[in-house]
Amino acid sequence: MTKLSEDDLAAVSSLRAAVMRLSRRLRHQRVDESLSPTEMSVLGTLARCGSATPGELARKEHVQPPSMTRIVAMLEGKGLVRRDPHPEDRRQVVVSQTEQAEAMLAESRRKRNVWLAQLAEGLTDEEWATLREAAPVLEKLAHL
Amino acid sequence: MTKLSEDDLAAVSSLRAAVMRLSRRLRHQRVDESLSPTEMSVLGTLARCGSATPGELARKEHVQPPSMTRIVAMLEGKGLVRRDPHPEDRRQVVVSQTEQAEAMLAESRRKRNVWLAQLAEGLTDEEWATLREAAPVLEKLAHL
DNA sequence: GGCTTTCGTTAGCGTAGGTAATGAGATAGT
DNA sequence: ACTATCTCATTACCTACGCTAACGAAAGCC
């Protein structure tokens, strides 16, 4: 980035508002009834990375450690995640997903498909393409 | 939209996660300390539309009426908003922004400029252009 | 071998949303 | 015209999900 135009300013305003509104909708129009968006996100991260300690997960999700503890406890209670002692460092814990989580993610992907189909009706191909392009940039922005 | 590819599915997944993470950051890295993101959003809507009833605002922000009542009360308490009786329908209330809100929005825009400058360092011009393009589409998506 | 640091966790709090119930005013039915 | 229903805003209460502070156990460092 080199320069900030007035348009940029307007864009960031509208981006901010849209992200907040959208997040609100996502939060309670969740495709899976029993899992909060953040829990889903953790499960997704776990699916990508295999396994991680609570601390690592907290950093990745931009959440404080105590919050991650509670999220992991929730997931463990639902049998979606396993907590094993770290082989070398006995302070740490290794969190990894269960086969049940794998199945749930597949099912959730299917449901998301339906949800997506409804949503997609309101967007043109160009708009959709724009979003596909923007997704990784938003990821990057979220991690600053 | 015509068809849903595997890529679309992956994109919506990452979009979802990114929006949630970003919203979390926005929520507490707010540029204006005293106003919540939703309150800012309401003020923005009001700036665009001039004035509206609480019900209309609730629909636009995708929030339930009682929540909007509380938000408006907050804003009124801070002198940023005025509540007048509706001329024809005495059940309704007309909410409109004060001059003070106007000044605050200008100040907030200035602060956002600084925040934006920091943020922009991490993005390339192309990425930024992508976000500018995506902002209105996200707006549309947020309104279904 | 004691001091500091780094984990995960527990305890308690705050914020921002939601649902259910209420009351005043508008609207429709007969 | 009067009652019944419906709508709008509001009040009261509840829940979800994040935070900070405090703590105990394990690791690393003089």
DSSP of chain B, one letter per residue? Answer: -----HHHHHHHHHHHHHHHHHHHHHHHS-SSTTS-HHHHHHHHHHHHHSEE-HHHHHHHHT--HHHHHHHHHHHHHTTSEEEEE-SS-TT-EEEEE-HHHHHHHHHHHHHHHHHHHHHHTTS-HHHHHHHHHHHHHHHHHHT-
Q: How many contacts does A have with B, using Cβ atoms within 8 A?
A: 191
CB atoms B121 and A16 under 8 Å: no
Domain boundaries, chain B: 34-142
For residue B1, what pLDDT is reported?
52
Residue nearest to nucleotide D28 (CA to C1'): A89
Q: Which nucleotide is nearest to B71 (CA to C1')?
A: C16
For A19, which of B61, B136, B138 is closest by C-beta distance? B138
B16 contacts in chain A (CB < 8 Å): 26, 37, 40-41
For chain A, say whether B19 makes contact (Cβ under 8 Å).
yes
Residue B78 or residue A6, greater confidence? B78
Average pLDDT of the residues in A4-27: 78
In Å, what is the separation between the CA of B38 and the C1' of C11? 30
Position A140 scores a pLDDT of 86
Q: Is the CB of B36 under 7 A from strand C?
A: yes
Q: Which of B3, B15, B40 should one mutate to test binding to chain A, selecting the residue with the greatest count of A CBs within 10 A?
A: B15
Under CATH, what is the fold of the domain B34-142?
Answer: Arc Repressor Mutant, subunit A (1.10.10)
pLDDT of res. B3: 56
Residue closest to sugar C1' of D11 by CA? B66
- Biggest CA-to-CA distance, chain A: 54
How far is Cα B132 from Cα A92, in angstroms, rounded to an integer? 42
CATH number, domain A21-142 = 1.10.10.10
**B103-127: per-residue pLDDT in tens?**
888 888 777 777 777 777 788 989 9
pLDDT value at position A34? Answer: 77
Q: What is the mean pLDDT of chain B?
A: 85
Higher pLDDT, B26 or A43: A43
Q: Is A132 helix (H, G, I), strand (E, B) or coil?
A: helix
Q: What is the pLDDT of residue B25?
A: 79
Query: What's the rounded Cα separation, in Å, for the pair A110 and A130?
Result: 23
